Amino acid sequence: MILILKLAVTVLFSFSGYLLGFKYGYQNYGIILGTLLGIITAYSDLILKNVDFGSIIGGIIGIASGLLFANLILVPIKFLVREDMTAVSFALKGFLGYGGLLVGLRRGKGITLAAIFRLFIGKGFEENLKILDTSVIIDGRIADVCEAGFIEGTFIVPQFILQELQYIADSQDSTKRARGRRGLDVLHKIQKMANITVKIVEEDFPKIKEVDSKLVALGKLMNAKIITNDFNLNKIAQLQGVSVLNINELANSLKPVVLPGETMRIFVLKEGKEYNQGVAYLDDGTMVVVENGRKLIGKNAEVVVTSVLQTTAGRMIFSKAKEEYEREESKAAK
């Protein structure tokens, strides 16, 4: 059906080109030009498939503004010069029209149909929007990041997220109840911050059951980023073109860099999974595995880093007691 429609469009353009060419005595050129325009029009969906919608709107507005500005400039020039201004008019319109097109394409990128709709209904364009997920609200670190001034702008809290928080806060399970109440306290704390605006929105998607899917849909609608700790939501949102700010990734990137060969002082807390291992934790929660460290459990010890393993769950540091490491190094040197 689509192929027949495209063929019909091409034939229509070809026929129109023939009629125009016949009128001015260029039938062959008219058919060729009409056919080319018909093919371009019929397959414009493939040409524009990867073009950002906002760029198209911006480009149209930009080129229209450029041509309008060129005409406004030409009015006083024609009045003063009173000569044939065809060449000047063509050059000026070409320069300003093309310039407006480039500016429009660049500035229009990211504008969505939803944003244009919001502008028409009087809500205007809103930038720097971030949607809060339940996990990041309960986690609480987002409040500390905002308080430090690293994140600012407008935070969007959907009504369905508030309902989920309320449900957790009213749970019969004491642990869940405490987590839910903590999330509500975190939201209240963020609301009081001067550099953050918190907006509760009523937008919902009744046909979508999953909360994560609703967040992604809302992110698309409002052209907003999602702040979360949920690894799965992170991946789903990125696959659908919605930007994500993951607090866990931020925390991992801010952990101090530790290189093999460095010495650190730790408290060996417990036994490791493998034989004769000891386990300690840094202040930021990073696990330090001490080989042959079982005898050091319950003691402070100096260890030397042997390797660092980065995983999706975080970072693990492998080490050996300083005395043992130096002993092995001296043996290797001999």
CATH 2.40.50.140 maps onto the chain at 257-333
pTM for the structure as a whole: 0.54
Report the side by side order of strands in the sheet with 129-132.
196-201, 153-158, 129-132, 225-228, 244-246
pLDDT value of residue 315: 79
Cβ-based neighbours of 33, under 8 Å, separated by 6 or more:
17, 21
Enumerate the H helices of 170-230 as residue ranges.
174-191, 211-222
Q: 6-42 pLDDT, tens per residue?
A: 777 777 877 777 777 766 666 666 777 777 877 777 6
CATH 3.40.50.1010 maps onto the chain at 129-253
82 or 174, higher pLDDT:
174
Could you please state the CATH topology (level 3) that the domain comprising 257-333 is classified under.
OB fold (Dihydrolipoamide Acetyltransferase, E2P) (2.40.50)
Burial of 51 (0-12, 13-18, 19+ CB in 10 A): exposed
CA distance 141 to 21: 70
Q: 35-55 pLDDT, tens per residue?
A: 787 777 766 666 556 666 667
Q: 214-245 pLDDT, tens per residue?
A: 999 888 888 889 999 888 888 888 888 888 99
Task: Tell me yes or no: is domain 129-253 CATH 3.90.190.20.
Answer: no
Q: 55-83 pLDDT, tens per residue?
A: 777 778 888 888 888 888 888 877 777 66
